Amino acid sequence: MNCQIVSCPGINDGPALDKTLTELAALFPAVNSVSVVPVGVTKYREGLYPLQTYTQETAAALIDQVEAFAANHLKSAGTRLVWCSDEFYLLAGRDLPPEDYFEDFTQLDNGVGMLTLLTQEFSRALEWMEPEELAGAAPFSIATGVSAAPFLAKLVAQAREKCGTIEGQVYPIVNRFFGESITVAGLVTGGDLIEQLRGKDLGQRLLIPASMLRAGEDVFLDDVTTQDVERALGVPVISVPQDGYALLDAMLGIALTPDARQAAWENEEFYRYNP
């Protein structure tokens, strides 16, 4: 079992979280991993329990608590077992842990180590590229959630440093549909994209994380389609999987086939386990 704890300030963190982690750890190895993610509080709260969101200070305290538990479990069982999601580190204003901290990246789907892995994959893909292969790429733009925008801007700057002709702009999209406290890319809607990007310089294509769309569809959570966004903004919308190699290819305008993407993933797996 791979478990997720949605942590709510003052409700199931603090001593309650220690109790939960201790009970789950007692079920190891049947419990294979645990992620701790912050509760997302939307603006649609009328008549509901008054949940609070994490502040920089409370997020930092929770990270310290979880990392201390994980360090003890690593000593006793050879695995950390529990990790905080990337969002906690962003809220706390802390650097993300290094790649080896996340072990097998079991909790990627819950946002644990996602930005670290994306950064490492992108850097390796960039290392394999010659500057002349990057030259001539058409201008592009990237739309993402507020929390991930600074990281993607760093990747664009990294590509520009290797080849000065790379032209890309990252646009953080404020979540007005669910509420501005929601900062993850996966909950950005098509309507917010259209409203906030209309009239902006988007280059020749707009890249968005695949997590913005319903699985297997070209539809956002507000029922707006990618075709609707393309018509409104006047540029093609390219959905990019959570993969550093695919992101660089999308920046360069290269369309990876499924077989090519699988080959890149296998190459990354070989690199990771055979450094």
Per the document, the length of the chain is 275
Report the chain's C-alpha Rg in angstroms.
Answer: 20
Are 196 and 174 in contact, with CB atoms under 8 Å apart?
yes
- Look up residue 216 and give its amino acid: G
Helix/strand/coil for 57: helix
Are 114 and 186 in contact, with CB atoms under 8 Å apart?
no
121 closest CA partner among 239, 240, 267: 267
Structure tokens at 109: 């789907």
What is the mean pLDDT of each successive set of 10 residues along the chain, which is 275 residues long?
A: 97 97 98 96 87 94 98 97 96 93 94 93 88 82 94 93 87 95 92 97 94 93 96 95 91 66 51 39
Helix/strand/coil for 108: helix
Structure tokens at 265: 């993933």
82 closest CA partner among 15, 9, 25, 27: 25
Bridge partners, 100 (sequence order): none
Q: What is the largest CA-CA distance in the chain?
A: 59
How many whole angstroms separate alpha carbon 126 and alpha carbon 143?
Answer: 21
Q: What pLDDT is stored for residue 66 in this prediction?
A: 98
Cα–Cα distances (Å) from 153 to 16, 141, 178, in that order, read 38, 10, 24
Are 144 and 170 in contact, with CB atoms under 8 Å apart?
yes
Are 34 and 17 in contact, with CB atoms under 8 Å apart?
no
pTM equals 0.82
Structure tokens at 7: 């942590």
Q: What pLDDT is stored for residue 273 in this prediction?
A: 37
CB contact burial 203-242 (16+ within 10 A = b; e otherwise): bebbbbbebbbeeeebbbbeebebebbeebbebebbebeb
